[in-house]
Amino acid sequence: MEKKQFQAESQRLLELMINSIYTNQEIFLRELISNASDAIDKLAYQALTDQSVGLSRSDFAITLKTDEKYRLLTVSDNGIGMTQEELEENLGTIAKSGSLAFKKALDKDADVDIIGQFGVGFYAAFMVAEAVTVVSKKFGASQAFMWQSSGADGYTITPCERDCAGTDVILKLKADTEDENYSRYLKSYELRSLVKKYSDYIRYPIKMDVERQKLKEQPEGEEKKDDAKPEYETVVETETFNSMVPLWQRKKKDIQPEEYEQFYRDKFFDFEAPLSTIHFSVEGAVTFQAMLFIPSRAPYDFYTKDFKKGLKLYSSGVLIMDNCEDLLPEHFRFVRGVVDSQDLSLNISREMLQHDRQLKVIANNLEKKIKAELVRMLKDEREKYEKFFAAFGRQIKYGIVSDYGTHKDFLQELLLFWSSKENKLVTLQEYVDAMGEDQKYIYYAAGESRSRLSQLPQTELVQEKGYDILFFTEDVDEFIPQTLLKVGEKELRNIASEDLGLQTEEEKKEAEAACEEAKAVLDFVKETLGDKVREVRVSKTLRSHPVCLVPEAGMSFEMEKYMKRVNPDFAYDAGRILELNTAHPVFQVLKEAMTGDKEKAEKYARLLYAQALLMADLPLENPTEYTDLVCGLMV
Ligand code: ADP
């Protein structure tokens, strides 16, 4: 019979499993049971609308069976089953959720110890089995198929018999070694305890025929003799190992932190524990239970279109939608979890759900709860919150600026920005609270990086006054002042803007006089530079630097750069205004050159403009010309 080869990555995963000395290999059972449960979910879901399934909820079960003589352990389900193609595709390749996450981790050469931390799926069977047989019949098909493999050398698929739809996964357990006792997986008490430990909340009964010693009953009519020894007999009883109550339906106080963690890892394929778990129930107009998780890190595709937000939606413990998007607002799209409501109809369609009033009530409720948890974390567990913000802060910021700022009041407290004075992240309220009476505005500077920003010439004056400057380094940051405008009474001001509100009346007068005096120089520079700049004016903010470039009101340079990146065809310039520091010696030199050597003065003007561009982190229009100018000064 022809042996097929595993796909390369599957092969690698498989070899890892076969040679695994992983101590927690017992998780293989959890993986198989979870697959069985998923398969039943699928058929149970179909049964809601398809009469021909002919099974009701109570008919579904997962069955364990052992054969001590041949060292076989079988996990069976009466779920949806697999066709020949599906056997080939699902078991011969790694393309599926859990194993894919594992593959990603493998690619990063991660530690093998992550095996137990999240679902590695079906292949986990090879940690304990030397050969695996899968017999499966797809619901609605007439032919069953058998998939067989004894590991890395490939697998076969052949037609076979099976009564009804479903799947049997049959493990031929490895021989015991000095270190490993595989035989324990043949014992019902061992299996029972593994089910309790890992699969207790599976919503279908996990059954096994268990042998028990039972006291023999007295045959009727016979008299009981006082000295008779009690007689025992072996009876076989079908026992259900799991309690079947979904984790979220259990009482919070009865759930161990590890159980939440395990559930999260199993269901959402993350190998890091969640940062926070929110488990609550609501009774009232709409009754529901929710168990939500805030992940520790953003999935690799989080900030792309591929990422699908949503929660698993259940109706009284039955999954009705795997990814219900309408339950989460965009700004909290990172949240994972389940919602279970007995008030939702089982066969509600997707379109109907969108307009469902009850669903909206639930969604509103969840949004508030999530925010409350984040605020709590911000207050009580700052370090944790910062970790959260590093992963998902950008999403919160998008939330503020999107939908015309509709959510700004709701989300504002969740923002953190880098305080250049405190050298740490602060909230806007913390910034405001630390402001002195005399400080008019909340100052911020936008640029590529913190180190770049601290070199910005305009920071000097603000910092000299002892005021804090928030450093904005993400693209989206700059849109925030435009949306928020104010925090309480305080307006946000870019330090690159013209009026920073720093001058006293007296200083203002002095400045005006200086402007008058400087007018000839300003005009000269403007004339020399022509259209390159909109205006040349006296700076109110410069201290030790001779020049700087500021944008015309409305858009900043950072935003200009951002726009150009996002949509080059429609981008426009922010409008450059050159500011000169009249108190700087360079200004005098320029002034003198204007009367002495006009050509030189023009060179100076162009040089100063180039320097201003450099400091603003904008590209030079003509780097060669600039270098020539500098070199011209040297010789
Ligand atoms: P995962 O469960 O993470 O998707 P697995 O390697 O465990 O990955 O399983 C791969 C696929 O094989 C599953 O997604 C499912 O389609 C199929 N499968 C596994 N076990 C069963 C089963 N008992 N019944 C039906 N399909 C199954």
Pocket of ligand 1 (CB under 6 A): 31, 35-36, 39, 77, 79-82, 90, 96-99, 119, 121-122, 167
Find the range with the poorest average confidence among 75-84, 91-100, 172-181, 601-610: 91-100
> Candidates 31, 96, 162: which one to mutate for ligand 1, based on the most atoms within 8 Å of Cβ?
96
Strands 535-538 and 576-580: parallel
- Ligand 1 atom closest to Cα of residue 96: 4
> Candidates 35, 145, 322: which one to mutate for ligand 1, based on the most atoms within 8 Å of Cβ?
35
- Ligand 1 atom closest to Cα of residue 31: 7
Q: Is the pLDDT of residue 110 over 80?
A: no
Distance 39 CA to ligand 1 centre (A): 8
Strands 486-487 and 424-426: unpaired
Q: Is the pLDDT of residue 101 over 70?
A: no
- How far apart are alpha carbons 21 and 46 in whole angstroms? 40
- How far apart are alpha carbons 344 and 75 in whole angstroms? 33
- CATH 1.20.120.790 domain span(s) along the chain: 505-634
What is the identity of the amino acid at 412? Q
How confident is the model at residue 112, as a pLDDT? 44
What is the per-residue pLDDT across 208-260, written as a single tens digit (0 to 9) for each? 999 988 888 777 776 666 677 788 899 999 999 998 888 899 999 999 998 89
pLDDT band at 504 (very low <50, low <70, confident <90, very high): confident
How many CA within 13 A on the CB side of residue 218?
A: 10
DSSP helix, strand, coil percent of the chain (3-state; round to 5): 45, 20, 35
DSSP symbol at 556: -
Most confidently predicted of 100-114, 160-174, 191-205, 352-366: 160-174
How confident is the model at residue 116, as a pLDDT? 42
CA nearest neighbour of 553 among 577, 521, 525: 577
Q: Biggest alpha carbon distance in the chain?
A: 136
Stronger pLDDT, 34 or 101, i.e. the higher one: 34
Q: Is the pLDDT of residue 528 over 60?
A: yes
Distance 310 CA to ligand 1 centre (A): 22
Q: Domain spanning 247-390 has what CATH number?
A: 3.30.230.80
**Average per-residue pLDDT for the chain:** 87
- How far apart are alpha carbons 378 and 395 in whole angstroms? 16
How confident is the model at residue 119, as a pLDDT? 47
What is the per-residue pLDDT across 467-490, written as a single tens digit (0 to 9) for each? 999 999 998 998 899 899 889 889
Q: Sign of dihedral through CA atoms 491, 493, 499, 505?
A: positive
E-strand stretches of 15-90: 62-67, 72-77
Q: Annotate 375-393 with DSSP letters as a single string.
A: HHHHHH-HHHHHHHHHHHH
> Mean per-residue pLDDT for 60-81?
97
Distance 122 CA to ligand 1 centre (A): 7
Task: Mark out the alpha helices in 251-356 (DSSP H runs).
Answer: 257-268, 350-354
What strands, in cross-sheet order, belong to the sheet with 155-160?
155-160, 144-149, 129-137, 166-173, 72-77, 62-67, 206-215, 232-240
Burial of 508 (0-12, 13-18, 19+ CB in 10 A): exposed
Among all chains, which residue has been given the structure tokens 């590991």? 151
Distance 37 CA to ligand 1 centre (A): 10
> Mean per-residue pLDDT for 309-331?
86
Class of domain 505-634: mainly alpha
How confident is the model at residue 113, as a pLDDT? 45
Distance 196 CA to ligand 1 centre (A): 22
**CB contact at 8 A, 525 and 605:** yes
- How far apart are alpha carbons 126 and 15 in whole angstroms? 9
Fold (topology level) of 417-494: Rossmann fold (3.40.50)
pLDDT band at 347 (very low <50, low <70, confident <90, very high): low
How confident is the model at residue 468, as a pLDDT? 96
E-strand stretches of 437-527: 441-446, 469-472, 486-487, 490-494
What is the identity of the amino acid at 28? F
> Mean per-residue pLDDT for 522-528?
94
> Candidates 14, 43, 90: which one to mutate for ligand 1, based on the most atoms within 8 Å of Cβ?
90
How confident is the model at residue 161, as a pLDDT? 97
- How far apart are alpha carbons 266 and 202 in whole angstroms? 12
Helices (H), strands (E): how many in the chain?
19, 22
CATH 3.40.50.620 is held by the domain 10-214+231-240: no
CA distances from 195 to 268, 360, 490, 576 (A): 20, 37, 59, 69
> Candidates 38, 64, 77, 162: which one to mutate for ligand 1, based on the most atoms within 8 Å of Cβ?
38
- CATH 3.30.565.10 domain span(s) along the chain: 10-214+231-240
Distance 88 CA to ligand 1 centre (A): 11
CB proximity list for 487: less than 8 A, separation 6 or greater: 412, 428, 429, 431, 432, 442
Q: What is the pTM of this model?
A: 0.65
- Ligand 1 atom closest to Cα of residue 123: 6
Distance 35 CA to ligand 1 centre (A): 5
Angle, CA of 367, 372 and 373, to the nearest 5°: 100
- CATH 3.30.230.80 domain span(s) along the chain: 247-390
Distance 89 CA to ligand 1 centre (A): 10
> Candidates 87, 122, 164: which one to mutate for ligand 1, based on the most atoms within 8 Å of Cβ?
122
Find the range with the poorest average confidence among 24-28, 328-332, 519-523, 545-549: 24-28
pLDDT band at 338 (very low <50, low <70, confident <90, very high): very high
Indicate the angle between helix axes 8-18 and 97-107, nearest 10 degrees. 90
- CATH 3.40.50.11260 domain span(s) along the chain: 417-494
